[in-house]
Amino acid sequence: MENLPILISLLFGLTEIGTIVWFYFASKSKTFLFIAIFWTILQIIIGLSGMYQNTEAMPPKMMLFGIFPALIFIGLTFLTEKGRVFIDQIDLKTLTYFHSIRIPVEIVLALLFYQGVVSVYMTFEGTNFDLLSGITAPLVAYLAFWKTEKKKTLLLWWNIICLLLLLNVVITAVFAFPSPFQKLAFEQPNIAVLYFPFNLLPTVIVPIVLFGHLVAIRQLTKRN
């Protein structure tokens, strides 16, 4: 990974910071900001330690110490009263624009593919169509909140479709990741996420994007 152009790491670093800052503007929650920064620092330490590079562990350490805790925290947020209060006060318009962050994420993945450290399945040249979510986010946000009138049906279906696109990427990533679960991309697996800073993609950026869709779907389906 030392041979990667520094600009790729810099672009990804800016994308990581942008993800947290943009979601903070949507939530206006200092608690979220504190937790996100703490979790990011913890993942930086783990990434630099080389722990995730042990690809023979079962369950994979990336899942055990990176992905599963984030998913558990998301679940607890939806299951607790304080968590639901936090969810329901997040600004839906800003949250919709937030998903534009997926554009630089997809650019980074494409650049990493050309460097030989992620699978083609993780790019828009393969089976990753998540770029559509990022491109359509500002258009959908504009149309849905045009003249301050919120169009729930448009927002709900867009979030559901984009959530499915995200899940497609996540499932593909698991199968193309060097671990006992690997089923794809044996010639060029997703090794970039084993190293800092790219380990922050599955452990920080993806959980926040996932959380964003779940928040929107709850807000749009909740009875007044």
- Whether 1 is in a domain gets the answer no
**pLDDT class for 148, splitting at 50, 70, 90?**
low
Backbone angles phi, psi at 197, to 5 degrees: -95, 0
Instruction: Say if residue 180 is preceded by a cis peptide, omega within 30 of 0.
Output: no
Predicted confidence at residue 181, as pLDDT, reads 66
A 10 A CB-CB count for 52 gives 24
- Whether 4 is in a domain gets the answer no
Segments forming the whole domain that contains residue 200: 11-221
Q: Which of 79, 99, 71 is nearest to 159 (CA)?
A: 99
CB 204 within 8 A of CB 188: no
DSSP SS3 for 185? coil
Q: Is 80 exposed, middle or buried (CB count within 10 Å of its CB: 0-12, 13-18, 19+)?
A: exposed
Average pLDDT value for residue range 119-147 = 90
* DSSP classification of residue 204: I
CB 115 within 8 A of CB 4: yes
DSSP SS3 for 123? coil
CB 144 within 8 A of CB 96: yes
User: Measured between alpha carbons, how far is residue 104 from residues 57, 75, 81, 221 in Å?
Assistant: 31, 27, 34, 30
Number of domains in the chain: 1
- Whether 59 is in a domain gets the answer yes
Average pLDDT value for residue range 148-155 = 81
Answering whether pTM is above 0.85, one says yes
- Whether 121 is in a domain gets the answer yes
- Whether 3 is in a domain gets the answer no
* DSSP classification of residue 121: G
A 10 A CB-CB count for 116 gives 12
- Whether 45 is in a domain gets the answer yes
How far apart are the C-alpha atoms of 194 and 50, rounded to whole Å? 8
pLDDT at 147 over 80: no
* Alpha helices (runs of H) in 80-119, residue ranges in sequence order: 81-88, 92-98, 102-114
**pLDDT class for 30, splitting at 50, 70, 90?**
very high
- Whether 210 is in a domain gets the answer yes
**pLDDT class for 188, splitting at 50, 70, 90?**
confident
- Whether 5 is in a domain gets the answer no
